[in-house]
Amino acid sequence: MSERLADIANAMVVRGKGILAADESTPTMKKRLDSINVESTEDNRRDYREMLFRTPAMADHISGVILYDETLRQKAADGTPLVDIIKSQGAIPGIKVDKGAKDLAGAPGEKVTEGLDGLAGRLEEYHGLGARFAKWRAVINIGSSMPSRYCLNGNAHALARYAALCQEANIVPIVEPEVIMDGGHDITRCFEVTEAALNALYAELYEHRVELEGTILKPNMVVSGTENPARAGIDEVAEQTVKCLKRTVPAAVPGIVFLSGGQSDVDATAHLNAMNAGYDMPWALSFSYGRALQAAPLKAWGGQASNAPAGSAAFAHRAQMNGLATLGKWSPELEQDAA
């Protein structure tokens, strides 16, 4: 495929497809495997991800896969590099490059993401290993006095420095300023914080001379806090999310791939579908889901090679449902039909 940043970015958000976030760190993957009583060995992590990547539905519904450093370097049981399996499905390999959210000095409860030191060299190596896009996640918490402008600007600055380095390495940056769902806030408060975070981000991307046509945004949806009993419905989430994005995201951005952020599998699909079915937008709206694509196949697989077909089938279903949501053609009845 083309090596132009804009062409890669557009291929990542082609209609009917989305991105599989399979970039869990080794400690996070241990928690996933612990939940199904499977030991977190390198082979078990490899076998699980190989099952996902070999699922035939990948070719129809997945445009790219975000990988962790270990996975980018791994080979399948038969010796085939996992990157080559992903490419054979017509998907683009990507790589998580940040070093995680750490406590922000002088701001209790707030985080800033680290990983800029040595990033240029790592990006050069990752490009040689086959990665054509990268991901960097910022964490924005909502509280009575959070987020501070200090937190928003610090994370936006780091995202912009990362994005500029990616483009110098001919890698498309996914910029992910995640406003966390946790808390008792209502949807209005989530809107305010998301709007502020995105405004800060695009101001910094401009200052860092980042070519927006060669970027992808990975934001949260505008939703109620998890501890708020008055949950906003599907239509309100879609309306408020689209309104927020139209206020903040330049039309030059090719596409927006939402994180699921702790939503249920079906809620994440329903919200995405409502946006695509009900609104005209200057960018493609798609998905970059981790848990919302993987929870069902992980449980079905259960660490047993004999269960790989069941795990693949569960992944294929969730990928298909979200692929339909990018077209505004999903319905709850399709979930029931598969039950």
β-bridge mates for residue 101, sequence order: 113
pTM, to two decimals: 0.96
Closest by alpha carbon to 53, among 16, 89, 77? Answer: 89
Residue 51 pLDDT exceeds 80: yes
β-bridge mates for residue 143, sequence order: 146
The predicted-structure confidence for 222-233, as pLDDT tens digits, reads as follows 999 999 998 999
Residue 23 pLDDT exceeds 70: yes
Beta strands in 70-191 (DSSP E): 92-96, 101-103, 111-113, 133-140, 172-179
pLDDT score for 132: 98
Helix 308-325 and helix 42-54, axial crossing angle in degrees, nearest 10: 50
Task: Read off the pLDDT of each residue in 5-31 and give the average, rounded to a whole number.
Answer: 97
How far apart are alpha carbons 266 and 264 in whole angstroms? 6
Closest by alpha carbon to 261, among 156, 199, 192, 179? Answer: 179
Q: Domain range holding 269?
A: 5-338
Based on the number of CB atoms within 10 Å of its own CB, is 50 exposed (0-12), middle (13-18) or buried (19 or more)?
Answer: buried
Q: Could you tell me the two tokens for 11?
A: 């291929």
* Active-site choice (17, 96, 135, 218): 218
Residue 339 pLDDT exceeds 70: no
Q: Could you tell me the two tokens for 72?
A: 């980018």
The predicted-structure confidence for 240-249, as pLDDT tens digits, reads as follows 999 999 999 9
Cα 64 versus chain centre, distance? 10
Residue type, 64: G
pLDDT band, residue 109 (cuts 50/70/90): very high
pLDDT score for 336: 79
Average model confidence (pLDDT) for the chain?
A: 96
Residue 24 pLDDT exceeds 70: yes
157-to-153, 196, 253 alpha-carbon distances in Å: 6, 14, 18
Answer yes or no: are the C-beta atoms of 223 and 188 closer than 8 Å: no
pLDDT score for 337: 67
β-bridge mates for residue 338, sequence order: none
Close Cβ partners of 209 (under 8 Å, ≥ 6 residues apart)? 164
Asked if 218 is an active-site residue, the reply is: yes
**Residue linked to tokens 């966390």:** 180
pLDDT score for 189: 97
pLDDT score for 261: 86
Task: Read off the pLDDT of each residue in 207-212 and give the average, rounded to a whole number.
Answer: 98
Which CATH number does the domain housing residue 125 bear? 3.20.20.70
Burial state string for 63-75 with b = 16 or more CB within 10 A and e = fewer than 16: bbbbbbbebbebe
pLDDT score for 262: 85
Cα 111 versus chain centre, distance? 19
Residue 338 pLDDT exceeds 70: no
Cα 150 versus chain centre, distance? 25
Tell me how far apart the 2 most distant CA atoms of the chain are, in Å: 53
* Active-site choice (50, 176, 204, 239): 176
- Split into its structural domains, the chain has a count of 1
Closest by alpha carbon to 218, among 27, 71, 69, 20? Answer: 20
Task: Read off the pLDDT of each residue in 71-98 and give the average, rounded to a whole number.
Answer: 97
% of the chain at pLDDT higher than 90? 96
The predicted-structure confidence for 131-184, as pLDDT tens digits, reads as follows 999 999 999 999 989 999 999 999 999 999 999 999 999 999 999 999 999 999
How far apart are alpha carbons 106 and 317 in whole angstroms? 46
The predicted-structure confidence for 271-313, as pLDDT tens digits, reads as follows 999 999 999 999 999 999 999 999 999 999 999 999 999 999 9
Asked if 246 is an active-site residue, the reply is: no
